[in-house]
Structure 1
Amino acid sequence: MKIVGVTGTKNTGKTTLVEKIVEGLSGEGYHVATLKHSHKSFDFPGRDTDRHRKAGAEIVAGSGRETFILVDREMDFDEIIAAIDILDSVDFIVVEGFESMEYANISTSTPNEFTVKVVDPFKLEDVDELIAIIKKRSYGLLQGLDCGKCGFESCREFAAAKVRGDADEVDCRSQPDRALLKINGKPVPLNPFVQNFVSKAVLGMVDALDTENLKIEKVDLIIKCQRNR
């Protein structure tokens, strides 16, 4: 899973750009989700999130005064991304808003240190170029492990290199591909060895159950701790 943002000031074409990116990626066969950030409440029919869905996004999530997949509180960025990844595996999450997120973004007006391309004004003929850039320079959920397996000393150095275009052929090797641990709703970093250990342990228990009629593709295990009374 890779994350790419679309940022910029109001009325600069962010939602149109999101639509075209989603159409471009899904048209190439990628599974795409979108995440919309707003300071207002969400209204589905005819609104931006509805446009994301009609463009081809398989999952649409939003964060503002309410968050949906509907939770009656505002969730932070990593928590929402983890929730989307648990619900369904996608190849790309296209994020509209969230100006402060530390992931590659396309800007329609005001670039920041994670901007890979400024499109001001946005032109439809630029879409193919943007899709190519997104596939090379975006990256997945960084866990802050600073494991060095990507060839960089820290996750932040890796991210900076990806955004600059100095690591187009390099991907993070510590993505939560096999197992994702969340405590109190927040993702907790697991290195690949621990992910593999947890995955094998849980799948071993599942294999011991009566699951002959089930085609197992993904296992979600939720453990609730008993509250002290």
Structure 2
Amino acid sequence: MKIIGVTGTKDTGKTTLVEKIVEKLTGEGYRVATLKHTHTGFDFPGKDTDKHRRAGAEIVAGSGRETFFLLEREMDLEEIAGTLEILDDLDFLIVEGFKEMEYASISTSTPGEFTVKVVDPFSLEDVDELIDLIKKRSYGLLQNLNCKKCGFSSCREFREAKIRGEADDIDCRSQPERVLLRIDGKPVPLNPFVQEFISKTVRGMIDALETESLKNGRVDLIIK
């Protein structure tokens, strides 16, 4: 899952830009998630969820045509992205408002260190060009292994090269392709050998259960 940010000052068209990027990517068949960052809370005054929270619930969940969770704590981008990786197989995560994220971003005002394009003012004619940039210069979760297998001396050097358009997708082998390990919500770096070892060990245990319906597909293992 590649991550792309949309940043900029207030009322410069960030949400409109996110909408157009999502529409374009999903129209091409990609699976997309979005994440909105705010300095305030997400409240639903007067609704049942609000009443549950006011009664003291630490987590409020809703299930119907949609499923959602409200947690009384802030999660950082790495934790949220890791959770989304576990929940579903997605192609892109579009993040609105995380100014300090170390992932490729489009800015509607002033550029940052990881900005690949500034669209100020934003025009709908820019979308096709932006989609090409997003595909070429965005990348997924990096584990900071600094293993050098990508040809760069560190994950940060790879990240900077990717932002400049000087690294291919296949160059980075630090991304958790088979296993994502998190402890207290924080990703733990795993090299490809360890990922393969954990995957085979867990699947071997599942095979021993002798339950045919459990042997195929993705495995989610949570240890507390």
- TM bin, normalised by shorter chain, reads 0.7 to 0.9
Residue 79 of structure 1: how far off its partner (Å) = 0.8
Partner of 2:147: 147
Tell me, yes or no, if the aligned pair for 2:5 and 2:97 is still in contact at 8 Å.
yes
**Aligned pairs for 1:46-57 within 5 A:** none
Partner of 1:107: 107
Judged with a 3 Å threshold, the aligned counterparts in structure 2 of structure 1 residues 28 and 168 are, in CA distance, closer, same or farther, namely same
Aligned equivalents of 1:215, 1:4: Cα separation in 2: 34
Aligned equivalents of 2:43, 2:122: Cα separation in 1: 26
Partner of 1:97: 97
Tell me, yes or no, if the aligned pair for 2:162 and 2:168 is still in contact at 8 Å.
yes
Partner of 1:18: 18
Partner of 1:33: 33
Instruction: State the identity %.
Output: 74
Residue 41 of structure 1: how far off its partner (Å) = 1.6
Residue 70 of structure 1: how far off its partner (Å) = 2.3
Aligned equivalents of 1:185, 1:19: Cα separation in 2: 29
Residue 37 of structure 1: how far off its partner (Å) = 0.4
Tell me, yes or no, if the aligned pair for 2:144 and 2:189 is still in contact at 8 Å.
yes
Aligned equivalents of 1:157, 1:140: Cα separation in 2: 15
Aligned equivalents of 1:175, 1:69: Cα separation in 2: 27
SS where residue 4 of structure 1 aligns? Answer: strand
Q: Deviations over 1:170-199 (max 9, x none)?
A: 541121110111111111110111001100
Query: Larger Rg: 1 or 2?
Result: 2
Deviates more, 1:22-31 or 1:162-171: 162-171
Partner of 1:53: none
Partner of 1:50: none
SS where residue 176 of structure 1 aligns? Answer: coil
Quick one: which amino acid aligns to residue 41 of structure 1?
Answer: G
Aligned equivalents of 1:111, 1:31: Cα separation in 2: 27
Partner of 1:192: 192
TM-score (normalised: structure 2):
0.86
Residue 43 of structure 1: how far off its partner (Å) = 4.6
Partner of 2:133: 133
Tell me, yes or no, if the aligned pair for 1:38 and 1:97 is still in contact at 8 Å.
yes
Partner of 1:42: 42
Quick one: which amino acid aligns to residue 124 of structure 2?
Answer: L
Give aligned pairs, total: 202
Aligned equivalents of 2:24, 2:133: Cα separation in 1: 12
Residue 214 of structure 1: how far off its partner (Å) = 4.3
Quick one: which amino acid aligns to residue 175 of structure 1?
Answer: Q
Give unpaired runs (5+ residues) of structure 2: 45-67
Give unpaired runs (5+ residues) of structure 1: 45-67, 225-229
Partner of 1:88: 88
Tell me how large the CA RMSD over aligned residues is: 1.7
Partner of 2:206: 206
Quick one: which amino acid aligns to residue 206 of structure 2?
Answer: V
Aligned equivalents of 1:21, 1:127: Cα separation in 2: 7
> After TM superposition, what 4+ stretches of structure 1 lie above 3 angstroms from structure 2?
168-171
